[in-house]
Chains A and B, each alone.
Chain A
Amino acid sequence: MMLEVRDLKTQFLIGGRTGTAVDGVSFSVDEGQTLGIVGESGSGKSITALSILRLLPRPFARNAGGEVLFRGVDLLKLNDKQMRRYRGHHISMVLQDPMTALNPVLTIGDQIEEAIRMHRKLPRAEVRRLAIEMLELLRVPAAARRLASYPHEFSGGMRQRVVGAIALACQPELLIADEPTTALDATVQDQYLRLLKRIQRDRSLAIIFITHDLAVVARMCDRVAVMYAGRVVERAPTAALFAQARHPYTQALLRSALPEIPDRNARLYSIEGAPPSIFQPRHGCPFAARCEHVMPRCREEAPPDIEMGQGHAASCWLLA
């Protein structure tokens, strides 16, 4: 396995209260694979990503246990300098909002070249050539000329490609994509996803795709982990998840995304209520307050992870 996350815990400490944002999450991803992490906002999926890169917002958030094994090395045990060698070099990330992800006062050439120079000692001209190559890889037109441009001179879609060029500049083995297309319109999103797929194929890149959009999951991911309230409640190969979701939360999520009745007036199914606050004390199933199948036992004891074969697992008392 390239990346194996085991029992990862991340806590927030705000105003003297401790909240658990990521609560014992485990998953893995291998070369050339795409793992989707799905969940509502606040489910802990972005914090999971930042925990892997150790870029949690300081001083509030901190790792509270678990392992992040990248090719066998536990990233959580490295010192800052060692960790920095992994960032951008082995593991990289693209962010959600292309409008704010680029430094407004530096040219994009500066920003791509910096990413290369961080990890490779190369002559100037070579760095420049690589930067142009990256922009071309991401299909930014007139790449050589645009190195001297500033971020505001690009459209949203093009900016997201520049962010991609920065993230991929050092040829990382794993790319974490945190809702990279949420801010883009449908056509631009389509082009971007296609591009990402192609690059992944050419470089056998591993991707962790964080999203709330099940359509994107269906299109991009080999396997999916569904997160709710800081926990992975179900994981499965993508096809199996869409064909037979086992966890009530996943079922509800699918129902809200794919209305069964093709009637214009049909109300979209939505899940009642809101996920529990990370500061609430936890016992029992985190989904109990919103689950339509809730049983007395659910409120007392947390359901175990139940394996159903072929990499499909869910944690729910209904399956026990």
Chain B
Amino acid sequence: MLMLILSRALQSCVALLVLSVVVFGLSRASGDPVELMVPVDATQEARDVLRHTLGLDRSLAEQYVTFLTGALSGDLGVSIRERRPALDLVFERLSNSAWLALTAMTVALTLAIPLAVAAAVWKGTLIDAFARYIAVLGQSMPTFFVGLVLIIVVSGRWGLLPAGGMESWQSYVLPSITLGWFVVAGMMRLLRSSLLEVLDSEFVKLARIKGVPERVVIWKHALRNALISVVTLGGVYFALLLSTAVIVETVFAWPGLGRLAYDAVRFRDFPVTQAVVLVTAVLVVTINLVVDFLYAWLDPRIRRSQSGGS
């Protein structure tokens, strides 16, 4: 088990290192921030001074090394726009995003699990078609569109829920639905097909032979086995959620990480861009590690083989 943790941790470090290069490169490729920071009529001299204080006049390799050593000691530079440590900005927004991701994930699961069970149990019927339609609809409509429609109808026309910001619990409802609905389709389809496979299995047949009621067959014998495949992809869904959050947070004026990233890119505030992406990457990598362990917990075959077996 220890070996496994170590090797997975090492893999994660390598992944993060590669990512740091990509992030660094991309944020430089997005344009010269100096142009946005100085008045249009600024002299070349003024621009050069600014460039020097930002360290932009040094070679890319030098800049990267500074960036990396800084990152390792928790210093990701100072926001060009807000003139505050980039990491502070990120952490301020992180919990807002985390809450949104959590509520969205809850929405996704509470939709995906019953839909998948209904679709699998009544396979080939109208219920199945309807369940799949709901799920696919969420994925095929762009999130900004869903978000805008919800804002216009629910908060605009009906005046029911706030259209943006995060003042009360009510402001969570619309963004969570928008974001959650987007992941439902993939989750539901995966869960449906693995449920179908499991419901066809010999051990489900044996459970029925014992006289186990169908309800227990589905929720106890089948679902837990089927969920293993969904959990395996849990990290992927989380990453998907994070990237979709950029759009949703922008639409709903949600003061989260996604919104921060959007603004940072728009203003070429590259220290913040770098900080957002790096922190997100660390998050995704950590979540993936957690998923691995969750997977082992759900599936005794893996749990035992990793602890040496018996």
Contact = CB atoms under 8 A, between A and B. Distances in A.
B300 A166 contact: no
Contacts of A114: 207, 210, 212
B39 interface: no
A200 interface: no
Contact of B301 (A55, A88, A152, A163): A152
A101 B210 CA distance: 12
A95 B309 CA distance: 27
A55 B210 contact: no
A291 B264 CA distance: 82
Contacts of A149: 310
A100 B210 contact: no
Interface stretch (B29-37, B153-161, B197-205, B268-276): B197-205
A103 B299 contact: no
B205 A152 contact: no
Contacts of B202: 95-97, 100-101
Interface string A95-112: 111001111111000000
Contacts of B211: 84-89, 115, 118-119
A290 to B, nearest CB: 31
A103 B221 contact: yes
Nearest to A55: B208
A86 B304 CA distance: 36
A192 to B, nearest CB: 17
B209 A167 contact: yes
Given A95-B202, A152-B301, A153-B310, A104 B210 contact: no
A163 B304 contact: no
Interface residues of A, number: 36
Contact of A152 (B123, B210, B224, B300): B300
A150 B210 contact: no
A7 to B, nearest CB: 24
Contact of B206 (A80, A86, A102, A118): A102
B203 A152 contact: no
A105 B209 contact: no
B139 to A, nearest CB: 28
A118 B210 contact: yes
Contacts of A105: 224-225, 228, 298-300
Contacts of B214: 80
A103 B124 contact: no
B308 interface: no
Contact of A92 (B204, B209, B228): B209
Nearest to B224: A105
A104 B221 contact: no
B213 interface: yes
Interface string A32-58: 000000000000000000000101010
A118 B212 contact: yes
Contact of A150 (B201, B207, B301): B301
Contacts of B210: 87-88, 92, 114-115, 118, 166, 169-170
- B300, B304, B309 — which one has the most chain A CB atoms within 10 A of its CB? B300
Contacts of B200: 57
B209 A88 contact: yes
Given A114-B212, A152-B301, A104 B206 contact: no
Interface of A: 53, 55, 57, 59, 80, 84-89, 92-93, 95-97, 100-106, 114-115, 118-119, 149-150, 152-153, 163, 166-167, 169-170
Given A88-B209, A97-B202, 16 more contacts: A55-B208, A80-B214, A84-B211, A85-B211, A92-B210, A95-B209, A103-B204, A103-B225, A115-B211, A118-B210, A119-B211, A150-B300, A150-B301, A152-B304, A166-B206, A167-B206
30 contacts: A55-B208, A55-B209, A57-B200, A59-B124, A80-B214, A84-B213, A87-B211, A95-B202, A96-B202, A100-B201, A100-B202, A101-B206, A102-B203, A103-B204, A103-B206, A103-B207, A104-B203, A104-B225, A104-B301, A105-B228, A114-B210, A114-B212, A115-B210, A118-B210, A118-B211, A118-B212, A150-B300, A166-B206, A166-B210, A170-B210
